[in-house]
Amino acid sequence: MRAAGLFFFLIATILPLQVNASVAGEKSGQFDATEMIMHHIADAHEFHIVTYTKASGEEVHISMPLPVIIWHSGRFHAFMSSRFHGGKNLVPVEGAYLKLYHGKIYLTNVEGTIHYNEKGEVANAKPLNFSITKNVASMFLGSFLIFLIFGTAAKRYSKRGGLAVPKGIQLLVEPIILFVRDDIAREQIDARKADLFMPYLLTLFFFIWINNLIGLIPFFPGGANLSGNISFTLTLAVMSFFAINIFGSKHYWKEVLIAPGIPFFVKIFLVPVEIIGLITKPFALMLRLFANITAGHIIILSLTSMIFIMQSVYAAPMTILLSLIMYSLEFLVAILQAYIFTLLTSLFIGMAVNEHH
């Protein structure tokens, strides 16, 4: 815990906070809930902390700038996102300029012109962007927390050859680890092989769960919609795809590719379906997690937006109550989705590696 405190202290001291000011009057007019929500669930190149309006009507955004890493014309360009000044400044690279526009970095000309195609989408080229975005920063924080929690717990487990009476953080993590081992892994995978997949399943479960929870924290350094980002869920789904298929038994591959004991004309249809099934399983995992977490964020943000849409403070009690209910539900969803992702991965692994069905 001391290490965690030190970590946050370091962040807080190193933090070169960026303060951007804009005149509130600039964005006058109707409150656009869709834009606000899309802005919140999308990734960003800065970690927004707080926005307030001065008496003079000037809006002040305080945010933590994040490193931008761009691969352009054969080399990396790294700088802090504060150089964009919230999108007002261009950053020159070889033969082009980088512009931050709606949270994304585009290549532009010296004027920073943004072209649109006929669908109204930005047509400018995007450089390869390996930036530490808000989501990546949130993920680093999550990974660090996970490592801290389980590293601390593991140290305790090493005492007295594992026979020390569990206490402290052990009591918190042990039931969950046992749950993942006994009710997720061993339930689906043959006991002898289940242990091989335990590190993957445990890491997957806690990676999803902790990142879901950090995403639910409504203020800095939480609130990034990381586990509701398709890139995140795609990556985990691909990992699960490999975990499922790399250790597949001969029997499993025979079932998929030859479908033994089935008439030939059925085989013609069944084998392609089976092969597509290899992809659809992780695809479903990807979409399920993405949709559930993003939907949760959207609902909570929508409920909050109600106050501004109705432009009445009397809407607040109702929306706050509903948000509270949704928040409780989201805490459940956070662990439920981690559970479902891990359980289904485990189930598919079981189908692939078990000797008999």
Partner 1 sequence: MGLLMPDPGLVFWTSFSFLTLLILLRKYAWKPILRALKVREEYIEFSLKDADQAREELRKLSDTRKQMIEASRLEREKMIREARDLREEIIREARTAAEAESTRMIEQARAQIQRERKESLSEIRQQIGLISLEIAEKILKQELASDEKQKHVINEYLNQVNFN
Residue 236 in contact with partner 1, rule: CB under 8 A? yes
Distance of closest approach, residue 262 Cβ to partner 1, in angstroms:
36
Q: Which is nearer to partner 1, 176 or 320 (CB)?
A: 176
Residue 133 in contact with partner 1, rule: CB under 8 A? yes
Task: Please report which helix (H) or strand (E) contains residue 48, including its range.
Answer: strand 46-53
Cα 245–chain centre separation = 24
Among 151, 168, 218, 277, binds partner 1 (CB under 8 A): 151
Q: Which stretch binds partner 1 (CB under 8 A): 6-14, 74-82, 146-154, 272-280?
A: 146-154
Number of helices (H), then strands (E), belonging to the chain: the values are 10, 9
Residue 249 in contact with partner 1, rule: CB under 8 A? no
According to DSSP, residue 166 is labeled: P
Q: Interaction with partner 1 in 28-57: which residues (CB under 8 A)?
A: 38, 41-43
Q: Interaction with partner 1 in 4-33: which residues (CB under 8 A)?
A: none
**Binding flags for partner 1, 161-200, as an x/- string (CB under 8 A):** xxx---------xx--xx--x-------------x--xxx
Residue 153 in contact with partner 1, rule: CB under 8 A? yes
Residue 229 in contact with partner 1, rule: CB under 8 A? yes
Distance of closest approach, residue 40 Cβ to partner 1, in angstroms:
12
Residue 140 in contact with partner 1, rule: CB under 8 A? yes
Among 90, 96, 98, 132, binds partner 1 (CB under 8 A): 132
User: For residues 222-251, b (16+ Cβ closer than 10 Å) or e, as one string?
Assistant: ebbbbbbbeebbbebbebbbebbbeebeee
Q: Which is nearer to partner 1, 177 or 340 (CB)?
A: 177
Contact partners, residue 245, CB within 8 Å, separation at least 6: 278, 352
Distance CA 48, CA 134 (A): 9
Q: Which stretch binds partner 1 (CB under 8 A): 17-25, 82-90, 231-239, 271-279?
A: 231-239
Decide: 283 and 236 in contact? Cβ < 8 Å: no
Distance CA 338, CA 10 (A): 30
Residue 136 in contact with partner 1, rule: CB under 8 A? yes
Contacts 24+ apart (CB under 8 A), 20-25: 20/60, 20/61, 20/63, 20/85, 20/86, 21/58, 21/59, 21/60, 21/61, 22/58, 22/59, 22/61, 22/86, 23/57, 23/58, 23/59, 24/53, 24/57, 24/58, 24/59, 25/57
Residue 246 in contact with partner 1, rule: CB under 8 A? no
Partners of 59 in beta bridges = 22, 53
Interface residues with partner 1 (CB under 8 A) are: 38, 41-43, 69, 128-133, 135-136, 139-140, 143, 146-147, 150-151, 153-154, 157-158, 161-163, 173-174, 177-178, 181, 195, 198-200, 202-203, 207, 229-232, 234-236, 239, 294
